[in-house]
Amino acid sequence: MSRKYFGTDGVRGPYGGTLINEDFAWRLGAAAGRFAKERKSAAGTRIFIGRDTRASGVALEKALAGGLQSEGFTVVSLGIVPTPVVSLMTREGGAALGVVITASHNPARDNGVKFFDFNGIKLTDAEEERIEAYLPPAAGNGTVGYPLMEAPLARYLERTTSILPPHGLSGWKVVLDTANGAASVSSGRVLEALGASLVLVGTHPDGKNINEGVGSQHPEKMAEKVRATGARIGVAHDGDADRCVLCDETGEILDGDEILTVLALHALRRDKLVRRTLVVTVQSNLGVDAAISAAGGRVLRTQVGDRYVMDRMLAEGATLGGESSGHIICAEISSTGDGLVAALKIIQVMIETGRPLSELRRGLTRYPQSTNALRVCEKKPLDSLHRLNAEIKAVEEELGSAGRVLVRYSGTEPKLRLLVEGPNDAIVQSSMERLVAAAHAELDIVRS
């Protein structure tokens, strides 16, 4: 059985469409409740729900709560909180499940739902299949009132603030872009509590402007502010704050690969990288492998998705992993991607080494790479795209061991994602042009 509704990171789509609407949310809540009841080790009958700042989140939360209550669960709303807060509260608050209503980095027209088990870890593919199998044919009636937790951020703020010494950011100017999303309050409170002087971007959500020209998908505003104000670092989250993109003091942007490499190399030099292992996905640049291997560590790769990274980390006993998109998991602190934790851990390296981020990032020498994301009208099976597959094979043969090709559909958006790495920019770009042309020949591509 394959999943019909769940993608790389939960269920996601346009609000009011065939998938993300109140009726389906009620059914999904009921199915999740039935799944939770079959889990013999689940703790208690409470289920926590958090959401980001999208206007549609309020109605979807009520519908989900109704479905969960129909299966006998007590629903507690955490209100607007970052995704890692839901993970933490589920794990430490004795909940049977944690639910987040978010479409992450997607625009405000979209929304979605993702689940955490009682350990605060995202569900596996098999567990999501079980939820789909429990979906009732129709939505039931109504929602019983449910409480909003008082001070839902308190434990998270305490946990994250303790990463650095008291007043550890005194004298620091930090640009913070929270994408008009779930961290519009929390990240700033932590950084200010540590003594930072903040320059804020994307901190005025109105229900419609989440990720709109700001945040980790649009870090250029953060970088501009860093250059204009002389800040020491810039931090940009996505809509639910489980990822971050940074920029150094010169305004140059760092992605997840660079963040992971800085953290892993620093830990390796101090013999503190657990199992001397970093876990990344197939999307990460091959330069990460080269840098970590040269320092005496090893890199393991998974399919795209931070939950697959976490699964591999658990299996290997590793504590550091993530994605080039900026999902960074520091498992000694959080059991899911956490943009604020990642930023604080990078700042910790800066403090301990006395080196600016522009120097620390030099630990990664990237292989020449090109990426592309083509919006498609239909996700035709990749194995049916004969011209594209022939072009992929031809490019791979030409690159040999000096590069690689990765072609896949996004698990969260209607996009075909392409990646080419190779020995130089000219070869990489020409190879990408060939793949894009082949994709256009066989797929209905939405023109931007």
% of the chain residues with pLDDT over 70: 99
pLDDT band at 413 (very low <50, low <70, confident <90, very high): confident
Question: What is the per-residue pLDDT across 15-33, written as a single tens digit (0 to 9) for each?
Answer: 999 999 999 999 999 999 9
Q: Is the pLDDT of residue 435 over 60?
A: yes
Question: What is the per-residue pLDDT across 206-244, written as a single tens digit (0 to 9) for each?
Answer: 999 999 999 999 999 999 999 999 999 999 999 999 999
Q: Is the pLDDT of residue 41 over 60?
A: no
State residue 262's pLDDT score: 98
Nearest to 238 by CA among 345, 122, 160, 339: 339
Mean pLDDT along residues 251-266:
98
Q: Is the pLDDT of residue 198 over 70?
A: yes
Domains of the chain: 11-150 (3.40.120.10), 155-251 (3.40.120.10), 254-363 (3.40.120.10), 369-442 (3.30.310.50)
State residue 448's pLDDT score: 63
Mean pLDDT along residues 296-300:
98
Q: Is the pLDDT of residue 158 over 90?
A: yes
Q: Is the pLDDT of residue 40 over 90?
A: no
Q: Is the pLDDT of residue 57 over 80?
A: yes
Q: Is the pLDDT of residue 11 over 60?
A: yes
| Residue 42 or residue 52, greater confidence | 52
pLDDT band at 3 (very low <50, low <70, confident <90, very high): confident
State residue 42's pLDDT score: 52
The overall average pLDDT reported for the chain is 96
Question: What is the per-residue pLDDT across 176-197, written as a single tens digit (0 to 9) for each?
Answer: 999 999 999 999 999 999 999 9
State residue 399's pLDDT score: 95
pLDDT band at 281 (very low <50, low <70, confident <90, very high): very high
State residue 412's pLDDT score: 83
Query: What positions carry a catalytic annotation?
Result: 104
Q: Is the pLDDT of residue 429 over 90?
A: yes
Q: Is the pLDDT of residue 1 over 70?
A: no
